[in-house]
Amino acid sequence: MDKYEYVENIIAESSQTFHKAFSMLEDENKRKAVFSIYAFCRVADDAVDIDEDIEKIDELEEKIEKTFAGDVPKEPLFEALYETIMRYPSDKEPYLKLLDGLRDDYEKKPIKTEKDLEEYAYKVAGTVGIMLLPVLASKSHKEKPKEMRKVSIELGKAMQITNILRDVRDDLQKQRVYFPEEIIDQFQVRIETLVTGTVTGEYQSLVEHYIDIAKEKYKVFYKNLELFDKDAVLATYAAAKFYEGILDEIRRGGYSNITKKHQVGKFRKWRLMKKIKKDMKNRGLLG
């Protein structure tokens, strides 16, 4: 199997949303690059989330160090990733920071405050936005590095908060809660009640709090679409809107994310695509 088929298969099997969105990239090199970066992130995430194997994280760190040094491991993932960072030069820092965040996850590092959650979301998702910048914003990330870094980090954090809200049920089963302890106390939510699957008014308020935070972060990205490469806007916009749509599904489902995993269906994605293209046309971003 070709190395790029290998990385694309990882994404196709693990995230239909991202695969559908970034398959819209017309530039083949950009498409391959995005799938290579996401594949690395998925393999790293699975090492902790599924395999619960911290040694795999240590191995990935060693391999990413070698890849950036040009001593590329003879594996399709790292061969694809090496070609990506050669074609779209980037720094190894966000890759290492991602692995650091996953170590926190493995060790079940407590999330006590909003600041703790922001830091965690930066490590495991904001970093992914930074990885993708040289591919999706090839000019702006050089001309406006601080601005683009902020935009990409905010989008990554928005998606991670969405993940947390989507995966409440699964995380509870693993005895993991990502809501900060101070916020749980503030909204007077009882973890014992969540475990039973009971949706209380207090829990609804807590979920709304994080839906609002995530949506504000998505807005930062939407306001700055013009900074992304014109041939990458549609795919990136779609990925964000499809993901944000999960928040709306949680609302429509009566905040039942403690008993089920909400997804955005095909019809809903079709409707979102119509709105995306209309907005892009109005902003002069559609060719």
Evaluated on CA atoms 118, 119, 123, 124, the torsion sign reads negative
Share of the chain above pLDDT 90, in %: 94
Backbone angles phi, psi at 284, to 5 degrees: 70, 30
Domain range enclosing 231: 110-287
Number of domains forming the structure of the chain: 2
Q: Write down which residue in 89, 107, 125 finishes a domain.
A: 107
User: What is the average pLDDT across 177-183?
Assistant: 96
Q: Is 186 found in the same domain as 260?
A: yes
Q: Is 252 found in the same domain as 121?
A: yes
Rounded to whole angstroms, the Cα distance separating 63 from 85 reads: 14
User: What is the reported pLDDT for 23?
Assistant: 96
User: What is the average pLDDT across 38-53?
Assistant: 95
Q: Is 91 found in the same domain as 152?
A: no
Rounded to whole angstroms, the Cα distance separating 274 from 247 reads: 19
Q: Is 130 found in the same domain as 210?
A: yes
Q: Is 164 found in the same domain as 221?
A: yes
Per-residue pLDDT for 246 more than 90? yes
Give 286's pLDDT tier (boundaries 50, 70, 90).
Answer: confident
Give me the CATH number covering residue 249.
1.10.600.10
User: What is the reported pLDDT for 61?
Assistant: 98
Q: Is 103 found in the same domain as 146?
A: no
Q: Is 175 found in the same domain as 205?
A: yes
Q: Is 19 found in the same domain as 142?
A: no
Q: Is 281 found in the same domain as 152?
A: yes
User: What is the reported pLDDT for 287?
Assistant: 64
Class of residue 139 by CB neighbours under 10 A (exposed 0-12, middle 13-18, buried 19+) = exposed
Q: Is 265 found in the same domain as 190?
A: yes
Rounded to whole angstroms, the Cα distance separating 193 from 177 reads: 13
Q: Write down which residue in 107, 127, 159 finishes a domain.
A: 107
Q: Are 204 and 260 in contact (CB under 8 A)?
A: no
pTM of the model: 0.96
Q: Is 140 found in the same domain as 94?
A: no
Q: Write down which residue in 91, 107, 123 finishes a domain.
A: 107
Q: Tell me, what amino acid is at 90? A: S
In the 3-class helix/strand/coil scheme, how is 91-102 assigned residue by residue? Answer: CCHHHHHHHHHH
Q: Is 266 found in the same domain as 220?
A: yes
pLDDT tens digit string along 103-128?
Answer: 999 999 999 999 999 999 999 999 99
User: What is the reported pLDDT for 156?
Assistant: 97
